[in-house]
Structures are given as structure tokens and as C-alpha cells.
Amino acid sequence: MLIETNSRLFTYVIARDFGFAPNPFHGTCTLATCKPGIRKSARVGDWILGVAGKRLGPVHKKCILLMKVTEKISFQEYWEDERYLLKKPCRNGSNVMMLGDNIYHQDTKGNWIQEDSHHSNADGSQSIENLERDTGTSNHVLISDFFFYFGSQAIPVDLNSINYRSGLGFKKTDLSSSNEGRKLIEKVYKIYCNDLNRVISDPCQFIDSQKRVNQKSGKLY
């Protein structure tokens, strides 16, 4: 079933599109960092719509990502699951491997470990600010094997139909009562069904995949 009973659509701004959050590689699209509110609230069967922020220039307000949540697990489960080994970062690897988002797990005492990754400090050491933002209010990873990732070829969608206005946070639309929300999803699926679960185009900032970010300031280094 494309849209399940009682499902919701979560719409948010993708301020930075490196291929890290969301991470559309290796056959699954994952949201494992950033947007803790969505990662906490979304359920299996819900939909996530990622819209390009103004810093992404030509694709501003266009759809970079549309994904259906097909699995929701903890950081530790994500780390230990052999299906997601390729999602672990390798900072001396390819662009795709540098952007691995499987970066959080806990030691035997319950302390968080942050792997050397896009969310680490410039020298690869643990970024406390990013760690606290990623893990502080949500211990969840959203996974999809039913997604459309458009990247730098982001597509126009009718955001007015779901009364979405760009800004911080996210908008939640109840798809059981929003015919317009359902139409938006159905239209994308109808047009792009042959591109399901593919990276249709590289992320907007893929050329800078080696860089790291401080989420609070937005500074890249």
C-alpha cells in the first residue's frame, strides 16, 4: 500500500545536502542525524519530504527527498546490524564512504561514541555539540527502502497545497484527512516510479563531501 491508514507526512527544510542527512546510498535512504524531532515522532508507514533550503540556490523550495519510513531502530541497533555496515563512515574512502551516517553507538557504560565523520570536529575528534543535538532527544534512525532521492535535480512540488512555509522545525500533515498531501505523494510516485530507490542525481554539495559541519553555527570546516 502506497499510503497507509493513519500515516503522516513530515515536511522539513534540508539546509545542507551533502549526502549525509539524508543518506541515500547503498540501496536505502536513512535519516540518522539532524532533525531529532522528526526521528523521534515519525512511525513506520509515515512519509518524509525534504525541501531544499535557500542556501542550495537553484533548487530552493524544490523536493530533494521523498521517502516512506519502512523501519525505525535505535542507534545501537543501526551500528550492530550487518545490513548497514556500508553506512559506517570511512574518512579516507570515496565520497560516498566519507559521508556514512552510521556514526553513533554506546560503550558498556552507556557513554556515547561518535565515529570520525561529517559531524566530528575538524581533526576527527568528537564534536560534543553535534553529538548532543543528534542523540539528546531522539535515539532513533529512520530507514527507507521506498524512496525518491533527487539531489541536485530536485523537483518542484506543490508546497502550498499542504500549507507548508519554509522555516525551522517541520510540518506534520495527517494523510488520513489531507487529500492534497496524498495527491502530492501519489503524483511523485506516478511520475518517478521507475526511479524508486535510486540516487537520481548527486547531492547538491557532493563536491564538498570531505568537509565537516557544526550544526549549531552551520559552519563548514
- Convert the pLDDT of each residue in 67-119 to its tens digit: 999 999 999 999 999 999 999 999 999 999 999 999 999 999 999 999 999 99
Write out the three cell numbers for 83: 545490513
For a pLDDT cut of 70, what percent of the chain falls above it?
A: 100
Dist. CA 131–CA 109, nearest whole Å: 17
The domains of the chain, with CATH numbers, are 8-75+138-208 (3.10.590)
CB atoms within 10 A of CB 55: 14
Are 74 and 202 contacting, i.e. CB atoms less than 8 angstroms apart?
no
Distances (CA, A) of 75 to 15, 119, 143, 175, 198: 23, 15, 12, 28, 24
Q: Between vectors from CA 24 to CA 62 and to CA 100, what angle results, nearest 5°?
A: 125
pTM, full prediction:
0.97
Write out the three cell numbers for 19: 549526502
Are 82 and 150 contacting, i.e. CB atoms less than 8 angstroms apart?
no
Write out the three cell numbers for 6: 493513519
H-assigned helices in the chain: 36-41, 75-80, 95-98, 128-135, 179-192
For a pLDDT cut of 90, what percent of the chain falls above it?
A: 96
The stretch 201-208 carries a mean pLDDT of 98
Q: What is the pLDDT of residue 146?
A: 98
Distances (CA, A) of 128 to 81, 91, 136: 25, 19, 11
Dist. CA 69–CA 211, nearest whole Å: 28
- Which position has the grid cell 535510486? 198
Nearest to 71 by CA among 97, 39, 26: 39
Q: What is the pLDDT of residue 121?
A: 97
Given a cut of 80, whether residue 167 has pLDDT beyond it is: no
Q: How many CA atoms lie within 13 A of 144 on its CB side?
A: 29
